Structure 1
Amino acid sequence: MTERSDTVLESIKSNFKSLFSAEKKAAEYILNNPEEAIMLNISELAQKSGSSEATVVRMCKHVGYQGYYQMRLLMSNDLGKSSVSYDENEMLDSSQRLFEYSAARVAELKESIDIRLLIKVIGIVKKSRMVFVVATGNTTPIALDLGFRLERFGIPCSYSMIPEHFLNHVSLGTCDDTIIAISRSGASKQVLQAIELAKKKNMHTVVISAERHTQLSEYADCIIQVVEKKPKASVLQPDSHLLEIAISDALLYILQHYDTFEENTENEKKDEPYDDVELLLSEYKL
């Protein structure tokens, strides 16, 4: 996807005169209420602007986007970039600033994670007989949540908050299985033991970690690295695993729309709506 030179609001302004009168209603509402607009679905925006859903879609296409969903995510990203600026010792003293800060952290993932890697991981997951999701300590809830939601999409999963349980389950796995190991440090002892067992069973191995060069990553077929800049404010106490949750959400989104992603990858299409991981993660700016 090519880099955009204009923000969404700039694109709307520059194309405003060419819009039809009904489309201008939706455009005017977005221009006058950008922060509110990114929180509205297409039906809500149509109702508030006095237009129709079809009119909103046409307006989005006339100003250069493929639809309202894409435009809203990009606008959310624009607003997040322009609004987040903090001094090292500044307190985030309002709900708006707190959530903007969290959104900016997630948005940084787009610089380090290739969408093709996420598609590859989901391709492996879909072909697996069983997916083992393992973690220990304060990343355990991330593993339990990911395993549960994968099951909701029909993917057989095994996950447990007790290391002895998931180690026993992994030991019964086969070469048709996949293990997803989550460890911020890449050095969690029981997680390392689990992936060592999985490798002996010739399973596919996926690691989600903040560290690339660790013993855990040596066993990984795919490494999804959670890279984060040094925090500029002291708001993140105790330790936050927002980025791991964002990765889980992105993987599940790709799983939900996998046929579209796979088709786009095979055809090597340009300027596809799902061509950039930023579009997956921008919704966190909500």
Structure 2
Amino acid sequence: MTQNAKETFRSRDTGSTLTAKVRNLSPTMTRSMQRVAEAVAADPAACAQLTVTALAQRTGTSEATVVRTARVLGYPGYRDLRLALAAFAAQQQAGAPAAVTADIAVDDPLADVVAKLAHEEQQTLADTAAGLDVSQLEAAVAALASARRIDVYGIGASALVGQDLVQKLLRIGLIAHAHSDPHLAVTNAVQLRQGDVALAITHSGNTLDVIEPLRTAFDRGATTVAITGRPDGAVAKYADHILTTAVSRESELRPAAMSSRTSQLLVVDCLFIGVAQRTYERAAPALSASYEALAHRHSPVAPTAR
């Protein structure tokens, strides 16, 4: 990420996006760094008052660990993190609305279910947008826009997201295929080469049935893209460009497949719009033709003479 991109990213931070960053990046941290990150996310107002030494003592870590944690969270040093924490605290004191819990109980009225799901999905979208590396997104868009062929890999709920992306790309005249069968995915990946794009969608970052075809495409010289909630996962080893989605809380009645789908669809839509913008002279007529073809599907068809 460029320095300008980092500054823009930090300028959009709020208390909720800090919490999202801690949740997303926690798997990449040591346990001592996790304690620091969890402490500042849980109580930004109190931590904003602490020196680096005091925060280290509060979390049972070292000053070096506090500084490293600040850098992992996207700040040049602890001073910058501390200033951000003070801003978060000011937001809270200004009367920012309390978050609605998204934990859905078995006996919740449907009205509460609607409110909780709406809140959680809005937060997931905001967290994903705040954490999306625009330079990586631009590189992925450029590769897709100029690709000879595009293969998309996904399993389960991620397969549905992949199909959504492919049908959009097809409507603007690109050659794209969605593969949810791991065997077909690998056998098709073997045919890819330089100038092609392979895109893998895996929330965990460790789905073997998705990683294997991406690795195959990577070895064949295709440009590879990963949409994942775990940028430290195994999929990253074979991805030229990584687009990170927010990691939402999982609960008994709201599995990861539901929460990850929302953020994945946002990234897919960003990719599609970016590609359509870059290929507008070709995309616009293709879209018009597809709209016209579909319009006929909704009109009565006159019987043909025999």
Q: Same fold (TM over 0.5)?
A: yes
Aligned residue among 107, 126, 132 for 2:126: 107
User: Which of the two has greater helix per residue?
Assistant: 2
Quote the Cα distance in structure 2 between the aligned partners of 1:188 and 1:157. 22
Give the aligned residue type for 1:86.
V
How far is the alpha carbon of 1:166 from its aligned partner? 1.8
- Return the alpha-carbon distance in structure 1 between the equivalents of residues 252 and 210 of structure 2: 29
> 2:224 touches 2:240 (CA, 8 Å); kept in 1?
yes
Alignment of 1:1-12 (within 5 A): none
Q: Which runs of 5+ in 1 are unaligned?
A: 5-80, 261-286
Which one scores higher on RCO, CA 8 angstroms, separation ≥ 6? 1
Q: Does 1:180 align with 2:199?
A: yes
- Provide the C-alpha distance between the structure 2 equivalents of 1:228 and 1:84, rounded to a whole number of angstroms: 20
- Structure 2 distance, partners of 1:188, 1:237, is 16
CA change 1:120–1:84 in 2 (3 A) is farther
Structure 2 residue aligned with 1:250: 270
Secondary structure in structure 2 of the residue aligned to 1:255: helix
Preserved CA contact (<8 Å) 2:194 2:220: yes
Q: Are the structure 2 counterparts of residues 123 and 180 from structure 1 closer, same or farther at C-alpha, using a change threshold of 3 Å?
A: same
1:149 to 2:168 alignment: yes
Give the letter aligned to residue 241 of structure 2.
Answer: C
User: 1:111-260 counterparts in 2 under 5 A?
Assistant: 111-228=130-247, 230=249, 236-237=254-255, 239-240=257-258, 241-258=261-278
Identity of aligned residues (%): 16
Kindly indicate whether the alpha-carbon contact (under 8 Å) linking 1:84 and 1:104 is maintained by their aligned counterparts in 2: no
Match of 1:280 in 2: none
Q: Which structure would you say has the larger Rg?
A: 2
Q: Quote how far apart the aligned CAs of 1:238 are.
A: 6.4
Count of equivalent residues:
183
Task: Give 1:216 shift.
Answer: 1.4
Equivalents in 1 of 2:279, 2:172: separation in Å?
Answer: 14
TM-score by length of 2: 0.53
Q: Give ranges in structure 2 of 5+ residues lacking alignment.
A: 1-7, 13-94, 281-306
